[in-house]
Structure 1
């Protein structure tokens, strides 16, 4: 038996983000870091017996934009407002043959090429790092994209106004502000890690370029929607399963000041809460993120080291909103039975939901191979056990 809803989705999310208890825990699905893979979505449609034309939200991760029918079925309280590529940028997936095999290739605005084999189509990996052999002078001469190009935001405000005035949902931007990760996309991960030790001046120069892009982008995007959205999403993966991916000293001396500048810039442009994504065991960085001005942490990878829900809620639950952490997506969601899924969700909700400050979703994306019945059990349990009062 579920409780009774007494709030709109927007009211529910806003209350939860203010560390107050709404009627039930808000539910999220459909973002770039909280989405569903196209094949998992196809399995879900087959389970429901529904026919839909798929809309790809993110070709790199092969994420689908869930339909209103699916979002409504799962009681999802969030909807997304995203900018688009600037006028003149092609951004098309092209098919090429290499070594006797067909590939789908996509070049992004920074010149990074993402590829996946035609016979797989699960996700894209980087196949070309445009700054792999670059020098400091090459960074100065590189044609970085123009974050302030106003054509990125054509029609975005009108869409946001329509959703704000005519739907009950909380509005969030898609993710942007990827200051750190874009650098290794362009340089190559191994080369970038060497640079951090041997050539930090190169790293700082490249970080300054990506920061400039995102500061310019943010100014234009927030001018369009900053007064209309409830959540602004940014992120960079800083940690892996067991802890930081690179030197915490380098993070705090070089990366963090630039992230903080972006967050404070955002806060000067909007009253929306700032949401930050990093996978992995990030507990040691939470004080840094709070110092930067972050309001919300995602995806809360509860299977990583020192990411136990009890600890996170106890140590940071009054300062930081947790957005995610609904289930162990590595060991439980793909392999457990639906009833086990339900009990896992129930336990995590009992830990995270007291006092508000919690939004439910799967930890990161629902991947291909997750049984449709498990996805259904996940969101049905989130709804059933998410009410604060019977």
Structure 2
């Protein structure tokens, strides 16, 4: 029987593992909403305790060791010290989600409530700053607040973005070294780094939610316009970001060496439900060369595998990802146009590791019956795990309204697949 680390590494090398490799909560795109996590703990008959909301933007719950053991999880995440809102997960205090779930949040999490019930969160926990995130009343995650300052379109300067691309400091590197050593010395899990600094134009980060006063273009809607109207300005920002990302990967490698199995380079979305959000031509002009620089650096200097997240229908650029040497694609949104599971596996399965794709989190998992969840999960494992190259996870994060019955059906299907693993 393989250890979790051996199972992940076999999977990443397109070798057939002894059973499907399983992830829950190792990354910010393979996690679980804190309220759903609380229900999962209860359904597994584990001790009740308020989930830690370690990723406040999406209100994700930190997956604890007893849950990993109960489900047979194979991989854990290496996380930075700061959140998307710029404050650190440094100590915890009680809070209550809008659906009534008791949770814990960082002691640096500072918020206010508007008269309509919306929750506003402050960058770096600084109440003197303008709020940078809004949780609508009854909502399940924060939306960024655009705080763009006036722009002189005749004097656009990519260096306005320099504050967004900081270098890891000694405390960051000591943290990464300590956490990576712990995983390797005290556990047999695989390890994935939640890096994401190569996410060029990732609209989750464009507004600068972590900054007190973000400079430059910060409106995601205008961003897409400027791709066509001011491509040199956007390219200049992307080049600065790429240089900073490579420098931080150098520092990260000095700190953790080959203890890392996977690094998430980018979380930029390029697809929607029916097609691309940008043209393939624009992708090849503005993104592809810089993605290649980052991907090449990893493969030339480390043994890490590279992980790229993009939602939606991305068929026109999948060969581009393969051409620049991307190892892993997430989440493979099978409900999007052209992304059907069997066709994807047949066409790309020997060249791209599928991390995700296990069940539809838009419809089946939150709104289907347990039987429908079980059947879909079983079918996806049958397709994607044939010949290796598949890490099971839901398609993006598990949503807050998901029932415990459906969560148990999903993991029951995963475990039932072990009995037939030798047939793949």
Q: Structures share a fold, TM > 0.5?
A: yes
Whole-angstrom distance in 2 between the partners of 1:12 and 1:376: 23
Q: Is the 8 A contact 1:180 1:255 kept in 2?
A: no
Q: Confirm or deny that 1:105 pairs with 2:105.
A: no
Report what 1:165 is aligned to. 185
Whole-angstrom distance in 1 between the partners of 2:133 and 2:367: 29
Report what 1:139 is aligned to. 158
Q: Confirm or deny that 1:272 pairs with 2:268.
A: no
Alpha carbons of 1:23 and 1:61: their partners in 2 closer, same or farther (altered >3 Å)? same
Out of 258, 264, 276, the residue aligned to residue 233 of structure 1 is 264
Whole-angstrom distance in 2 between the partners of 1:103 and 1:309: 39
Could you list the per-position Cα deviations for residues 308-343 of structure 1 after superposition, in whole angstroms to 9, with x for gaps in the alignment? 111111111111111111112222111222122111
Gapped runs of 5+ residues in structure 1? 1-5
TM-superposed deviation, 1:173: 0.9
Whole-angstrom distance in 1 between the partners of 2:309 and 2:192: 14
Report what 2:96 is aligned to. none
Report what 1:212 is aligned to. 243
Could you list the per-position Cα deviations for residues 212-240 of structure 1 after superposition, in whole angstroms to 9, with x for gaps in the alignment? 33222222222212410111112211111
TM-superposed deviation, 1:112: 10
Report what 2:93 is aligned to. none
TM-superposed deviation, 1:98: 5.3
Alpha carbons of 1:134 and 1:58: their partners in 2 closer, same or farther (altered >3 Å)? farther
Alpha carbons of 1:218 and 1:246: their partners in 2 closer, same or farther (altered >3 Å)? same
Runs of 4+ off more than 6 Å: none
Report what 2:173 is aligned to. 153
Q: Is the 8 A contact 1:20 1:355 kept in 2?
A: yes
TM-superposed deviation, 1:162: 1.9
- Relative contact order, higher structure (CA 8 A, sep 6+): 1
TM-superposed deviation, 1:150: 3.2
TM-superposed deviation, 1:107: 2.4
Whole-angstrom distance in 1 between the partners of 2:131 and 2:300: 34
* 3-state SS of paired residue (2:317): helix
Q: Within 5 A, what are the aligned runs for 1:233-272?
A: 233-235=264-266, 236-272=268-304
Q: Confirm or deny that 1:337 pairs with 2:337.
A: no
Whole-angstrom distance in 2 between the partners of 1:357 and 1:378: 20
Whole-angstrom distance in 2 between the partners of 1:73 and 1:13: 18
Whole-angstrom distance in 2 between the partners of 1:246 and 1:113: 30
TM-superposed deviation, 1:101: 5.4
Task: Between 352-361 and 336-345, report the one with greater CA deviation.
Answer: 336-345
Report what 2:55 is aligned to. 58
Whole-angstrom distance in 2 between the partners of 1:243 and 1:112: 36
Report what 1:323 is aligned to. 355
Q: Confirm or deny that 1:185 pairs with 2:207.
A: yes
TM-superposed deviation, 1:121: 5.8
Gapped runs of 5+ residues in structure 2? 89-107, 209-217
Q: Is the 8 A contact 2:161 2:237 kept in 1?
A: no
Out of 142, 163, 167, the residue aligned to residue 124 of structure 1 is 142
TM-score (norm 1): 0.90
Superposed CA RMSD: 2.4
